[in-house]
Structure 1
Amino acid sequence: MGNTESAVLSVIVPTLDEASGITACLERLVGQESIDEIVVVDNGSTDGTREIVAELAALHPKIELLDEPNPGVAHARNLGFDKARGDYLGRIDADTLVAPDWGATVCEHLDANPGTMAVTGISTYHDSPIGVFLAAAIGAQERLGLIKDQPVGNVHGANMAIRRSAWQQVQEATTTRRDLHEDLDLALCLSKAKLRIDQLPRLRAQISARRRKTPPSVWWQYQVHGLRTIANQGYRVVPFHRAVITGAWLMHTAQWPIYRVWDFNRKRFSLRSGRPRVSPIGD
Structure 2
Amino acid sequence: MSASRADAGDIDVNGLPKLSVVVPVFDEEDTIGECLTRLVGQIDHIAEIIVVDNNCTDTSMAIVGAVSADHPEVRSVHEPRQGLVFARNAGMDAATGELIARIDADTRVGPDWAQTVVDFFGADVDGHWSALCGRGEAYGVPLAGRFDRWKITIHPLGRRRAHRVVTEIPVLYGSNMIVRRDVWERIRSRVSMRRDIFEDVDLGLCVGEDGGRNAFLASLTVGVSARRMQSALPSFVTYMSFLPRTFALHRRYALTAGSALIYVPALTVLHALRLTAIRLYDADTGRWSARRVRTRLADRVLP
For the structure 1 residues 49 and 265, does the alpha-carbon distance in structure 2 shift closer, same or farther, using more than 3 Å as the test?
Answer: farther
| TM score, norm. by length of structure 2 | 0.84
For the structure 1 residues 138 and 182, does the alpha-carbon distance in structure 2 shift closer, same or farther, using more than 3 Å as the test?
Answer: closer
| TM score, norm. by length of structure 1 | 0.90
8 Å Cα contact 1:42-1:66 kept in structure 2? yes
Deviations 1:199-258 (A, max 9, x none): 001112100111111111221111111111112223325432221222222211221122
User: What corresponds to 2:225 in structure 1?
Assistant: 208
C-alpha displacement at 1:260, in angstroms?
A: 3.5
8 Å Cα contact 1:263-1:273 kept in structure 2? no
1:256 aligns with 2:252: no
Paired residue type of 1:35? I
Q: CA RMSD of the aligned region, Å?
A: 2.6
C-alpha displacement at 1:262, in angstroms?
A: 4.7
1:245 aligns with 2:245: no
For the structure 1 residues 147 and 41, does the alpha-carbon distance in structure 2 shift closer, same or farther, using more than 3 Å as the test?
Answer: farther
Paired residue type of 1:60? H
Which residue, 120, 144, 151 being the options, matches 2:133? 120
Which residue, 139, 149, 155 being the options, matches 2:172? 155
C-alpha displacement at 1:117, in angstroms?
A: 0.5
Distance 2:253 2:229 in 1: 29
For the structure 1 residues 264 and 62, does the alpha-carbon distance in structure 2 shift closer, same or farther, using more than 3 Å as the test?
Answer: farther
Q: Which moved more, 1:78-87 or 1:256-265?
A: 256-265
C-alpha displacement at 1:273, in angstroms?
A: 5.7
User: What corresponds to 2:238 in structure 1?
Assistant: 221
Distance 2:234 2:163 in 1: 31
8 Å Cα contact 1:124-1:205 kept in structure 2? yes
C-alpha displacement at 1:53, in angstroms?
A: 0.6
Which residue, 42, 45, 53 being the options, matches 2:53? 42
User: What corresponds to 1:22 in structure 2?
Assistant: 32
1:131 aligns with 2:144: yes
- Counterpart secondary structure, 1:100: coil
User: What corresponds to 1:191 in structure 2?
Assistant: 208
Deviations 1:77-121 (A, max 9, x none): 101001011110011100000011111111111121221010000
C-alpha displacement at 1:11, in angstroms?
A: 0.3
For the structure 1 residues 154 and 136, does the alpha-carbon distance in structure 2 shift closer, same or farther, using more than 3 Å as the test?
Answer: closer
Q: What is the 5 A alignment of 1:14-93?
A: 14-32=24-42, 33-93=44-104
For the structure 1 residues 209 and 218, does the alpha-carbon distance in structure 2 shift closer, same or farther, using more than 3 Å as the test?
Answer: same
For the structure 1 residues 103 and 267, does the alpha-carbon distance in structure 2 shift closer, same or farther, using more than 3 Å as the test?
Answer: same
For the structure 1 residues 228 and 138, does the alpha-carbon distance in structure 2 shift closer, same or farther, using more than 3 Å as the test?
Answer: closer
Distance 2:217 2:301 in 1: 26
Gap regions ≥5 residues in structure 1: none
Distance 1:98 1:155 in 2: 17
8 Å Cα contact 1:219-1:278 kept in structure 2? no
Q: Which moved more, 1:266-275 or 1:205-214?
A: 266-275
Distance 1:224 1:244 in 2: 11
8 Å Cα contact 1:213-1:256 kept in structure 2? yes
For the structure 1 residues 230 and 265, does the alpha-carbon distance in structure 2 shift closer, same or farther, using more than 3 Å as the test?
Answer: farther
C-alpha displacement at 1:274, in angstroms?
A: 4.1
Distance 1:223 1:273 in 2: 21
Paired residue type of 1:17? D
User: What corresponds to 1:12 in structure 2?
Assistant: 22
Gap regions ≥5 residues in structure 2: 1-10
User: What corresponds to 2:3 in structure 1?
Assistant: none
For the structure 1 residues 41 and 147, does the alpha-carbon distance in structure 2 shift closer, same or farther, using more than 3 Å as the test?
Answer: farther
Aligned residues: 279
Deviations 1:4-45 (A, max 9, x none): 333210000001110011110001101211111100001111
Distance 1:101 1:179 in 2: 34
8 Å Cα contact 1:119-1:162 kept in structure 2? yes
Distance 1:239 1:142 in 2: 17
